[in-house]
């Protein structure tokens, strides 16, 4: 991980919001004065099919325009992907893997193909169902990766996301508060090992 650029790869399934979370992270980074890239990798995806998305966040202009092959951080929005996708491919040992799971990090290690770096877990299902009334894992996962990576100042991130939600959901205040509660609770609950 260079001092000026952080690369994040997202793994999820179509319809879970990995692409949306990736783009929200790019928006929040841009709002805090960073240079950003946020983009999905498309193939013949359909609802439930594995998808990949990418973020580059930098203090200086970024001239790289490719997928991310050696990420600093990886976010896994759907734990079931651990058995079918090599989510740790190229992941730097000094970075971290953040997984949507209610399990302890140690119990997930056998699925990580020998990767020995830090593993974070967050129960995005429980948090989103509690605050949003349904399974929307992207908001908790977004907050968890900000907390683990510190790619953005967490306080500034929360303030920027609240401003973004107030604009996006101006006619749905209950959605704003639910999403804010998800973000804040996820930052408190993400566990690293």
Confidence of residue 172 (pLDDT cuts 50, 70, 90): confident
**Average pLDDT over all residues of the chain:** 93
Q: What is the mean pLDDT of residues 82-111?
A: 96
Question: For residue 71, which of 151, 1, 7, 152 has the smallest C-alpha distance?
Answer: 7
The pLDDT tens digits for 120-154 are 999 999 999 999 999 999 999 999 999 999 999 99
Q: Do 11 and 76 contact (CB within 8 A), yes or no?
A: yes
Whether pTM > 0.75 for this model: the answer is: yes
Confidence of residue 1 (pLDDT cuts 50, 70, 90): very low
Say yes or no to pLDDT of 46 above 80: no
Say yes or no to pLDDT of 162 above 70: yes
Sheet of 5-13, strands arranged across: 35-41, 50-58, 5-13, 73-76, 96-100, 118-122, 191-192
pLDDT-above-70 percentage for the chain: 96
């Amino acid at each position: 991980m260079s001092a000026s650029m952080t690369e994040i790869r997202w793994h999820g399934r179509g319809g879970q919001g990995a692409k949306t979370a990736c783009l929200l992270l790019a928006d929040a980074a841009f709002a805090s004065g960073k240079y950003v890239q946020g983009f999905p990798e498309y193939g013949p995806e359909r609802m439930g099919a594995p998808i990949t998305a990418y973020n580059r966040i930098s203090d200086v202009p970024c001239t790289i325009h490719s997928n991310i092959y050696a990420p600093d951080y990886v976010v896994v929005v759907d734990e079931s992907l651990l058995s079918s996708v090599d989510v740790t491919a190229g992941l730097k040992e000094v970075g971290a893997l953040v997984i949507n799971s209610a399990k302890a990090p140690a119990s997930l290690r056998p699925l990580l193909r020998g990767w020995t770096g830090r593993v974070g877990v967050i129960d995005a299902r429980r948090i989103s169902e509690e605050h949003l009334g349904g399974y929307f894992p992207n908001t908790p996962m977004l907050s968890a990766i900000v907390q683990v990576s510190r790619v953005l100042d967490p306080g500034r991130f929360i303030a920027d996301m609240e401003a973004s939600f107030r604009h996006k959901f101006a006619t749905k205040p209950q959605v704003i508060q639910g999403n804010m509660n998800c973000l804040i609770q996820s930052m408190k609950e993400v566990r690293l090992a």
